[in-house]
Amino acid sequence: MKRRGFLKKAALTTGAIISAPYILPSGRLFANTGTRVANHVVYVLFAGGIRHQESIGQQFLSNQGFPTEGNIMNNMLSGNAPTAFTEIYDPWTPIVSNPLSSQGTLFQEVTYSVGPTGHFNGHTVAMTGNYTETGLNLVENPEFPTVFEYYRKHSDPVHSAMNAWWISEGLNPYYTLNYSRHPLYGPMYGANYLRPNTIFGGEGRQQLSSINIYHPDEISKIARIKQLLDNNFDQSTGVLPGIINTPEDRELIKSFIDTRIEAVSNYTMEIATPGNDYSKLNGDLYTVSAAWQVLDEFAPELMVVNMTNSDVCHDNFTGYVRNLHRADYGVGWLWNKIQSHPILANDTIMVCMPEHGRNLLANNIFDGNGLESYDHSANDEDSNSRRIFSLIVGPSGKVVQGQQLGTEGAPAAEAIDMVPTIGHILGFKDDVPSYLFQGRALEEAFV
């Protein structure tokens, strides 16, 4: 070998050795290197397909031919409430002293660029940071890793499932979004999925109200026999479905469920309605209330919670406006609760985003008040369903306050940006292989 060739190869080899990833005892290639903006993130998927016109646009009924505009999301957005026709949504007094948009950065115009604007697609995009082009198999976990898996795998030390929760208003097919099919991730990095409307609702109260929380020595007896049985069965736990909590965490969750079922049955659980009025609960507020119970009890580092009731807009615009107003109240209520928590206060950033928008043009369905209804097109027939927004709220030392970014002609962000943004907040973004993120971290929102 010539000297020049030898030196070139030696230099390349040395460079490769220096730049090669280190394999840590945990099996990870790199230690978590990112600095955290905050230690807790609550990601609210809001709230079943929201039109830009009634949210950021604050146009209320003006598109229905009524001369009235105004802000029906007084907890999240700045702006005066409507002064006429308010009886259709029964306004609630805002629960936050200052709108959340003044306590963070509002991306007024965000675009959902690619793929069908369906609910499951929208959730998948929002939770994986990757657009989905085609119709989804509704019983399969997503192809790309979820934000939970990124968070758990790329945190050092690897965090338990107790630190990652997916609280969903809906059951099918949202339960599949707590982990992906991706070969490098999967259920071992998944989140605890919980649908409060089932577990604390009728089914749970009917079937689980008599559960008996065993003493630790009784639990150990059961665990000992289970271990004996499992030792004689070839199928490993790796092929078993779902995420796995430690036995200790399972007992904590069982106790949590037991006490909350009792509290709901006795109407003593705090709920996200004015005056703790259970008659004003809808599915969204039930879900938000339960999400707070999880936050209060376990203070997880990452929670995704969704609301879906505003999807009644397909045939009931009145119900849409009403539920949108309530979902906004739920977000304000949740933020207030977070500020009252000794661990979460001043160390939590909340990210809110609709999973998709809704059409500009109404369908031909009129509700009981004669108001036109709106769908969300599954293709490019109506690009209005691609117009969404995002609100990032947090402490003044961490999140830029009162900032508004983006216009209709110049969107400030994309739907796929929220996952890398959460990665930026929790310090794992740079540890995720770059080919897995289509979007970018919205660093302009942070101090």
Among 157, 229, 434, 435, binds other proteins (CB under 8 A): 229
Structure tokens at 381: 């027939």
Cβ at position 192, least distance to other proteins in Å: 5
139 binds other proteins (CB under 8 A): no
Cβ at position 241, least distance to other proteins in Å: 5
Distance CA 283, CA 287 (A): 6
CB contact burial 359-371 (16+ within 10 A = b; e otherwise): bbebeeeebeeeb
Instruction: For other proteins, give the closer residue by CB, 145 or 411.
Output: 145
Tokens 């097109």 found at: 377
Among 210, 279, 364, 434, binds other proteins (CB under 8 A): 210
Instruction: For other proteins, give the closer residue by CB, 207 or 363.
Output: 207
Cβ at position 155, least distance to other proteins in Å: 19
254 binds other proteins (CB under 8 A): yes
Binding mask 297-316 for other proteins (x = CB under 8 A): --------------------
Instruction: For other proteins, give the closer residue by CB, 98 or 255.
Output: 255
Q: What is the DSSP letter of 146?
A: P
CB contact burial 282-315 (16+ within 10 A = b; e otherwise): bbbbbbbbbbbbbbeebbbbbbbbbbbbbbbbbe
245 binds other proteins (CB under 8 A): yes
Cβ at position 217, least distance to other proteins in Å: 8
Q: Which span (47-55, 227-235, 320-328, 437-445) binds other proteins, by CB under 8 A?
A: 227-235
What lies within 8 Å, CB to CB, of 145 at 6+ separation is 128, 153, 179, 180, 182, 184, 185, 189, 436
Identify the bridge partners of residue 352 per DSSP, sorted by sequence position: 44, 391
Write the single-letter amino acid at 356. H
Burial of 18 (0-12, 13-18, 19+ CB in 10 A): exposed
Binding mask 170-209 for other proteins (x = CB under 8 A): -xx--x--x-----------xxxxxx--xx--xxx-xxxx
Tokens 């070839």 found at: 234
265 binds other proteins (CB under 8 A): no
Q: Which span (220-228, 290-298, 366-374, 422-430) binds other proteins, by CB under 8 A?
A: 220-228
Instruction: For other proteins, give the closer residue by CB, 123 or 325.
Output: 123
Under a CB-based contact definition with an 8 Å cutoff, are residues 68 and 62 in contact?
yes
Q: Which span (128-136, 216-224, 372-380, 402-410) binds other proteins, by CB under 8 A?
A: 216-224
Distance CA 349, CA 37 (A): 9
Instruction: For other proteins, give the closer residue by CB, 167 or 349.
Output: 167
> Considering Cα of 421, then 424, then 428, then 434, what sign does the dihedral take?
positive
Task: Please provide residue 353's backbone torsions phi and psi, each rounded to the nearest 5 degrees.
Answer: -160, 135
Tell me, by CB under 8 A, how many residues bind other proteins: 51
Cβ at position 290, least distance to other proteins in Å: 11
Among 35, 93, 235, 379, binds other proteins (CB under 8 A): 235
Binding mask 145-164 for other proteins (x = CB under 8 A): ----------------x---
Between 283-298 and 317-339, two packed helices, what is the crossing angle to 10 degrees? 10
Instruction: For other proteins, give the closer residue by CB, 63 or 287.
Output: 287
Among 90, 140, 230, 380, binds other proteins (CB under 8 A): 230
Distance CA 145, CA 149 (A): 6
Among 97, 134, 212, 266, binds other proteins (CB under 8 A): 212
238 binds other proteins (CB under 8 A): no
Q: Which of 106, 108, 115 is nearest to 52 (CA)?
A: 108
Identify the bridge partners of residue 165 per DSSP, sorted by sequence position: 192, 303
Helix H or strand E segment including 63: none
250 binds other proteins (CB under 8 A): yes
Instruction: For other proteins, give the closer residue by CB, 79 or 201.
Output: 201
| Ordered alpha helix ranges (H), 342-417 | none
Distance CA 182, CA 436 (A): 10
Q: Is 70 left (phi over 0), alpha (psi -120 to 50) or beta?
A: left
Cβ at position 245, least distance to other proteins in Å: 5
Task: Please provide residue 105's backbone torsions phi and psi, each rounded to the nearest 5 degrees.
Answer: -110, 130
Distance CA 41, CA 422 (A): 7
9 binds other proteins (CB under 8 A): no
Binding residues for other proteins, per CB under 8 A?
161, 166, 171-172, 175, 178, 190-195, 198-199, 202-204, 206-212, 214, 218, 221-226, 228-230, 232-235, 237, 239-245, 250, 253-254, 257
